[in-house]
Amino acid sequence: MKRGVLAMLGDARVAIAEAATRNRLLPVTKFPGLSLFVGEAVRTELLADGSIIVGDIFPRAGETCLASSDGWGNYLAFGRLGDILFAERAPLTGAALYWGRLGGGIICASHLALVEELPFDASIDWEFVAHGLAYRNLRTQRTGIAGITELLPGSRLKVDGARAQVEQIWSPWDHVGRANSLPMAEVASALEQQLVASVAAWTLGRGDIVLELSGGLDSSIVAAALAAAGARCSAITFATPGADGDERLYARAVAARCDIELLEIEHDDHTIDLVGPPTNRHFRPGAYAVLGGIDRAFDRAVGDREISIFGGIGGDNVFAFDNSVAPILEAADHFGYCRQTFRTMRDVARAANASLWDAMRLTYRARRKGPRRQWEQDRTFLAEGAVPDRPFAHPWDEGARGASQAKRNHVEAIRRILDFLDRPERWHDRDVVAPLLSQPVVEICLAIPSWTWVAGGRDRSVARAAFAPRLPPEVAWRRGKGRIESLCIAAYLRQRPALRELLLGGRLAARGLLDRVAIDGFFKRDNLDGNFDYFRLLEIADAERWVRSVEAAPGCGPSRDQR
């Protein structure tokens, strides 16, 4: 595994070295209490404070990082604080790391495959499965494997003998300050400069860069930032037979404007397998099967080339794409019901293609209802009483108290996209960079008032203003987005009998988690115009596929209900 990480904090065991050898990991260094192995493509660095950096770390100021707190990136840090061993994960873009007890120590691993054959209880956590079905994209430290915990971005695991404790070292709420009223030009300029600088940092030491360029605003901004940073790269865009998923005209315009070579790849529903086992097993449900066509098309185009994949993932989330009336409420709390607030109301209505009356009515209703207190629950196709009433806790929950609904929405959106960073199969064991989620960029965006993001009646208005001079106008100011509904419907209808068998005869149904009657009734429907509940069935099918793959894995014991 080229980018695997395996470590033992505490009592080192021969089995760890054997697992590392089996997966072609190389020893980095060993000091008392730590055994660390990484893949051949993983960068390592020793900092002045004695900690070992695994991955990329970029200084926030100056030319070097004396300690991990001096930098940002996608790093993991391992080291000592007195008698305490620690593993630390960078905020936001930190590489994934999972940990659990093994013998007298703590085992840490980046991938499930690295620990599948080690002697620990790898049964499925069914409480997690039920929770994941009800609270979509709510990623907490809990995983689908009993006894295994994820070290979340911006947190540190401290091990002192038999004790293990996790502390949060970064929070988005520290960057959500009191709203300011800087001019749009000034805010946009600051965002542009920081994003270009962050992209330039990511390109250091990377040779063959391939940009996934959809033609939408977010990936186009990354293209413009790469060009501004003087990076040499190529781009790849994917097109479906249906017009809704064909954005080649926009991608071509951006590639021409940024002087980037563009490869165009077509794919259709016949390359999508909605029922087969996932290619790779993960600590929690991973790849979305419905995106398998893109994954396979990418692999055909790129093959085994050693590349760095850049993309626009996270743009909607970081650039505060919020189609609610929350910016109006935040403006009213800050300015009172004056000209600025009514201007925001007009902007929100225009951005949503709604009337001013609709915006006023929904604002009044939202004010009376108050802020949403917890993650939204979805019980569609789930059995009554089978899922938890409350979501699992997350370190960022605490800071939400006292925050406006707009800022809660912004932080929640960032949390949602962090659940996607390791899902696509085409990214497995590859060098993937999400520049829009760079820590300095996110911190700037969190401080921007919500009403500024909708100024002029356009979503993501600050980002648009920042990069409009570098992009074709038809891309910088476009309102629509490419979609793949026609492709998804075709894949669903073609594989509907197999999906029905997978769900109604599967492990989730046997556990009593699913509403069999509702699911069977939906499978009998032929007219799906305007009804997107089939997406929900595909999400549930992904969870079923994951459960079956884990139960069939070597070294992973049966679920507790099967013993």
Contacts of 124 (CB under 8 A, 6+ apart): 144, 145, 146, 547, 550, 551, 559, 560
| Model pLDDT, residue 562 | 45
Task: Please state the rounded mean pLDDT for residues 97-103.
Answer: 92
Instruction: Give a three-class secondary structure readout of 474-506.
Output: HHHCCCCCCCCHHHHHHHHHHCHHHHHHHHHCC
- Give yes or no: residues 406 and 444 share one domain: no
* Token couple for 51: 């900690």
C-alpha span between 68 and 89 (Å, rounded) = 10
Q: Which of 120-124, 407-411, 416-420, 493-497 has the lowest mean pLDDT?
A: 120-124
Number of H helices, E strands in the chain: 20, 19
Longest dimension (CA), the chain: 70
DSSP assignment, residue 5? Answer: E
* Token couple for 115: 């620990």
CA atoms within 13 A on the CB side of 449: 22
Contact 460, 217 (CB under 8 A): yes
- 14: CATH: 3.60.20.10
C-alpha span between 194 and 197 (Å, rounded) = 5
- Give yes or no: residues 241 and 299 share one domain: yes
| Model pLDDT, residue 183 | 86
| Model pLDDT, residue 16 | 87
C-alpha span between 346 and 21 (Å, rounded) = 62
In this predicted structure, the answer to whether residue 332 has a pLDDT above a threshold of 90 is yes
Helix (H) or strand (E) holding 128: helix 126-134
Share of the chain above pLDDT 90, in %: 78
Q: Structural domain of residue 288, as residue ranges?
A: 174-319+423-476
- Give yes or no: residues 182 and 232 share one domain: yes
In this predicted structure, the answer to whether residue 199 has a pLDDT above a threshold of 90 is yes
Residue 359 lies in a domain: yes
pLDDT tens, 221-269? 999 999 999 999 999 999 988 888 889 999 999 999 999 999 999 988 8
Sheet of strand 155-160: strand arrangement: 44-46, 52-54, 76-81, 84-89, 155-160, 163-168
Q: State the average pLDDT for the chain.
A: 92
- Give yes or no: residues 144 and 259 share one domain: no
| Model pLDDT, residue 378 | 94
C-alpha span between 245 and 481 (Å, rounded) = 9
- Give yes or no: residues 301 and 196 share one domain: yes
Residue 483 lies in a domain: no
H helix runs in 137-216, sequence order: 184-203
- Give yes or no: residues 186 and 302 share one domain: yes
Boundary residue ending a domain (105, 135, 170): 170
**For residue 429, which amino acid is it?**
D
Task: Please state the rounded mean pLDDT for residues 357-363.
Answer: 94
- Give yes or no: residues 364 and 266 share one domain: no
Contact 146, 383 (CB under 8 A): no
In this predicted structure, the answer to whether residue 214 has a pLDDT above a threshold of 80 is yes
Where would I find the beta strands (DSSP E) of 391-524?
Answer: 431-433
Global pTM reads 0.94
* C-alpha 487 chain-centroid distance: 23
Share of the chain above pLDDT 70, in %: 97
Residue 488 lies in a domain: no
Task: Please state the rounded mean pLDDT for residues 321-339.
Answer: 93
- CB atoms < 10 A from the CB of 484, how many? 21
H helix runs in 135-241, sequence order: 184-203, 217-228
pLDDT tens, 55-85? 999 998 777 899 999 999 999 999 998 889 9
Burial 537-560 (b: 16+ CB within 10 A, else e): bbbbbbbbbbbbbbeeeeebbebe
- Give yes or no: residues 252 and 346 share one domain: no
| Model pLDDT, residue 532 | 86
pLDDT tens, 142-192? 999 999 999 999 999 999 977 899 999 999 999 997 656 678 999 999 999
Contact 179, 407 (CB under 8 A): no
| Model pLDDT, residue 102 | 87
Residue 418 lies in a domain: no
Q: Which of 100-114, 347-361, 474-488 has the lowest mean pLDDT?
A: 474-488
| Model pLDDT, residue 13 | 63
Q: Which residue has the higher pLDDT, 515 or 32?
A: 515
Contact 9, 32 (CB under 8 A): no
Residue 400 lies in a domain: yes
Boundary residue ending a domain (170, 196, 224): 170
**For residue 373, which amino acid is it?**
R
Cα-Cα-Cα-Cα torsion 224, 226, 231, 235, nearest 10 degrees, comes to -80
Helix (H) or strand (E) holding 109: strand 105-109
Q: Is 10 exposed, middle or buried (0-12, 13-18, 19+ CB in 10 A)?
A: buried
- Give yes or no: residues 165 and 178 share one domain: no
- Give yes or no: residues 182 and 307 share one domain: yes
- Give yes or no: residues 229 and 248 share one domain: yes
- 289 pLDDT band, cuts 50/70/90, is very high
Boundary residue ending a domain (118, 136, 170): 170
| Model pLDDT, residue 117 | 82
Cα-Cα-Cα-Cα torsion 29, 30, 34, 40, nearest 10 degrees, comes to 30
Residue 16 lies in a domain: yes
CA atoms within 13 A on the CB side of 325: 26
In this predicted structure, the answer to whether residue 559 has a pLDDT above a threshold of 80 is no
- 236: CATH: 3.40.50.620
- Give yes or no: residues 71 and 199 share one domain: no
For the chain, the domain total comes to 4
Residue 489 lies in a domain: no
| Model pLDDT, residue 179 | 58
| Model pLDDT, residue 388 | 93
Residue 94 lies in a domain: yes
C-alpha span between 233 and 228 (Å, rounded) = 12
- 563 pLDDT band, cuts 50/70/90, is very low
